[in-house]
Amino acid sequence: MGQVTDAIEEVYRRIEANASNPVFLHVVPKAKALERAAAVEKMPKVSPLWGKPFVVKDNMDVEGLPTTAGCPAFAYTPKKTATAVQKLLDAGAILVGKTNLDQFATGLSGTRSASGAVKNAFDAKYISGGSSSGSAVAVALGIVGFSLGTDTAGSGRVPAAFNGLVGFKPTRGLVSTAGVVPAVRSIDCVSIFALSCPEAQQVLDAIVGVDGEDPYSRTGTPVQFSPQQFKFAVPSHLEFHGDSGYAKLFAQAILKLRQLGGTPVEIDFAPFLEAGALLYGPWVAERAAHLEPHLEKMLPVIREVIEGAKKYSALDFFKARNRLDELKQKSREAFRQADVILVPTAPTIYTVAQLEKKPVELNNHLGHYTSFTNLLDLAAVSLPAGMRQDGVPFGISLIAPAFTDKALLALGQRFQG
């Protein structure tokens, strides 16, 4: 046996050991994965990802495997693999499965799946975060070293924070979304979960590129800032919903960034919050445009969100879009003062029991620091930033303008040490 084949054997041992946690919706048959491993061992090592096992969220197409988007009644079997996934396969990585998610990538809790709530990797009574819950937990449990999720409102960052991972949301359009079930199609992003920023960068390097199959695909000149000497903006008012543990850890993160050469500046966060609110306002209509035919198949909480689109007219949308342009202008003001914005990735974490009592309200709390990024055309990375006293992870996010991806990951690497 070769080392790749041995690694795949270990992956399947770990999948079996964690079978009681509904992380996977589809597992590639072991014989098939071993066959792929044997083929990869004969390939030249074209990439640092050669021979590495990975998983993808089950709203991304893989030829021959069902795509369910967390809704069994929606399932179809695609004839073509999503561009981003295909690029990982071309790099010699080995797909071992497709992971659970908040249905139709609608939610930040990890509890909105017909297959059951994915359990937090550190404490099962807490939520794992969504919508890319399974992709995050598969990495956090050590089943695979990296995974792909999607991130429209924070779905690739909130579960990273709750499971002690790096969650990277690239600049919109940098990675093709061809072959991804749309949530809000014009602003959807493929996201990356990894244990470190250099590993996230390796995955990003493999999957970037303009794609004629994706009308939102684009490229741009990388924007740099120094990871040794930089200014970071902190909102003048911070929301933790009474979570003193998270508040304390955030204060420590500010201190750490100062020690790394950062100069803090205070900003008015209101334009960012107003932009974030629009995503669950008139932009829900874009979700509904793709998902309305499937309303009857949805979980009640997802249907409630999508049906909310009915109260918005075309007039409302254009008013909101014009307002968004004004908010983009205001948000640029923050980046004239600082290179990056520092925020908690989520203001707090909830238990599964708490979330079940107030599913919509508490879910909305979770997106406080994430839901504006794609609408305002920003890149973001969530980084592990310590543990609360009860052993639950905390994460911070660094957010910067489009095409700062490499600089963000370089600063993230320094923060991780």
CB 128 within 8 Å of CB 161: no
CA distance 2 to 6: 6
Q: Residue 131, preceding bond cis, omega within 30 degrees?
A: yes
| E strand intervals along 3-107 | 24-27, 53-57, 94-99
At 347, phi and psi to the nearest 5? -70, -25
CA distance 383 to 16: 29
| Amino acid (1-letter code) at residue 111 | T
Q: Which residue, 118, 115, 125, is CA-closest to 140?
A: 118
Q: Which residues are catalytic?
A: 57, 131, 155
At 192, phi and psi to the nearest 5? -125, 135
Supply the angle between the helices 270-279 and 314-337 in degrees, to the nearest 10.
150
Distances (CA, A) of 234 to 130, 270, 392: 25, 12, 23
Q: Which residue, 183, 93, 67, is CA-closest to 145?
A: 93
What is the Rg, in whole angstroms, of the alpha carbon atoms belonging to the chain? 20
The separation between CA 102 and the C-alpha centre of its own chain, rounded to angstroms, equals 12
359: its two tokens? 């599913």
DSSP 335-372: HHH-SEEEEESSS---BHHHHHHSHHHHHHHHTTTTTT
